[in-house]
Amino acid sequence: MYVAVKGGEAAIANAHRLLADRRRGDRSLPSITIEQVVEQLGLAVDRVMAEASLYDRALAALAVRQARGDMIEAIFILRAYRTTLPRFGYSEPVDTANMKVERRVSATYKDLPGGQLLGPTFDYTHRLLDPSLIADETVPEPAVKEPGEHVMRVSDILDGEGLIEGDGRMPEGHVMGDLTREPMEFPMARDLRLQALARGDEGFLLALAYSTQRGYGRTHPFVGEVRIGEVEVELDLPELGFAVSLGVIRVTECQMVNQFKGSAKQPPQFTRGYGLVFGQSERKAMSMSLVDRALRTDEFSEDIVAPAQDQEFVISHADNVQATGFVEHLKLPHYVDFQAELDLVRCMRREYGAARTGGEDGMKEATE
């Protein structure tokens, strides 16, 4: 017999009212605005956009505020919001070579066209808590200098000598996949894997990337370059017959250069991993590029010996909205399931007890 259980409406309503109260916090303090979140917690906003797979700074900031700063909750809210909107179309691919670069560093070349541009980085800070931020002291304006030459892509430098594989090509006749339109299937092509990684959980990808460095699927990586900046998004308008710009988005791109492969047909050359992420997030872009390279085992006939090389393992567990849904559902009522388990364990214990008593009786009989 199944008995449906109802109730809890008043408790739920009051719990949500309490949540709203705790979210607001001390009423004697001013309420935080969306603009403040966008301007002063920008990297939290960027992470929410990247993992929700929706670029909209204001909505992401709203989600951060609504979630009380719980990043995965904010990502969940924004991901859910995107399902309420119609899809207008697919943009032209963004052109990262023409990015308005705000930061670009290369670990492979010291002097390169465009130079090493540090930008607004945490690198080289001492990671000491800064008490001046408590006092809200005046912040000086940034220094300025005359801009230099065009920031050339590092992969193009190596490509000129044929020392590195080209930008990724899919097999002839491949139709680009879209995870939001088709169910996941394995083996998964590289374009779909990159879509999954771009919205994958930063912590999960960071851990996997780290595991490859520690020897679980080593790829001998160098950061060819990391660049952050704005790129234009263009949409083809069929009624006009040409593509128009919709504005600019900020992205982070990582070109990872990995140790060489060669074959009987081809001389050895460096291989590559690629990372591209919404917003400013080089940790995520670097992790993505390391995992992208690790997953390309089929292209380089590499044995799958580590978790980071196993595409079904990596892609199936990279989405934190899916992951949190399944982990967190465990706290929801499982009263009936658990009742069945209770009955089962009681039954097993009875049988165990009976077998023991029966066994002891048998022993007694034998000794008599």
Helix (H, G, I), strand (E, B) or coil at 32: coil
Contact mark string toward another protein, 10..39, x via CB under 8 A: ------------------------------
CB of 282 within 8 A of CB of 253? no
The smaller minimum CB distance to another protein, of residues 82 and 317, is found at: 82
Distance in angstroms (rounded) separating the CA atoms of residues 32 and 226: 33
**Cα 310-315-317 angle, rounded to 5 deg:** 100
Q: Using the rule CB under 8 A, is 248 a contact of another protein? A: yes
The smaller minimum CB distance to another protein, of residues 59 and 77, is found at: 59
Q: Which of 16, 24, 150, 174 binds another protein (CB under 8 A)?
A: 174
Contact mark string toward another protein, 265..304, x via CB under 8 A: -------x-x-x-x--------------------------
Q: What is the DSSP letter of 314?
A: H
Q: Which of 63, 192, 208, 321 binds another protein (CB under 8 A)?
A: 192
Q: Pick the stretch among 206-214, 229-237, 339-347, 355-363 that binds another protein (CB under 8 A).
A: 229-237
Q: H-type helices in 165-267, by residue range?
A: 190-198, 202-213
The smaller minimum CB distance to another protein, of residues 237 and 344, is found at: 237
Q: Which of 12, 15, 184, 237 binds another protein (CB under 8 A)?
A: 237
Q: How far is the CB of 145 from another protein (least distance, A)?
A: 4
Q: Using the rule CB under 8 A, is 242 a contact of another protein? A: yes
**Cα 154-160-166 angle, rounded to 5 deg:** 70
Q: Using the rule CB under 8 A, is 350 a contact of another protein? A: no
Phi/psi at 43 (5° precision): -75, -25
Which 37-66 residues touch another protein, going by CB under 8 A?
49-50, 53-56, 58-59
Q: What are the C-alpha distances in Å from 81 to residues 49, 120, 246, 352?
A: 12, 31, 21, 53
Task: Give the contacts of 262 (CB within 8 A, at least 6 positions apart).
Answer: 268, 269
Contact mark string toward another protein, 78..117, x via CB under 8 A: ----x--xxxxxxxxxx-xx--xxxx------xx---xxx
Task: Say which amino acid occupies 318.
Answer: A
Q: Using the rule CB under 8 A, is 145 a contact of another protein? A: yes
Strands of the sheet containing 222-237, edge to edge, are: 100-105, 222-237, 242-261, 269-278
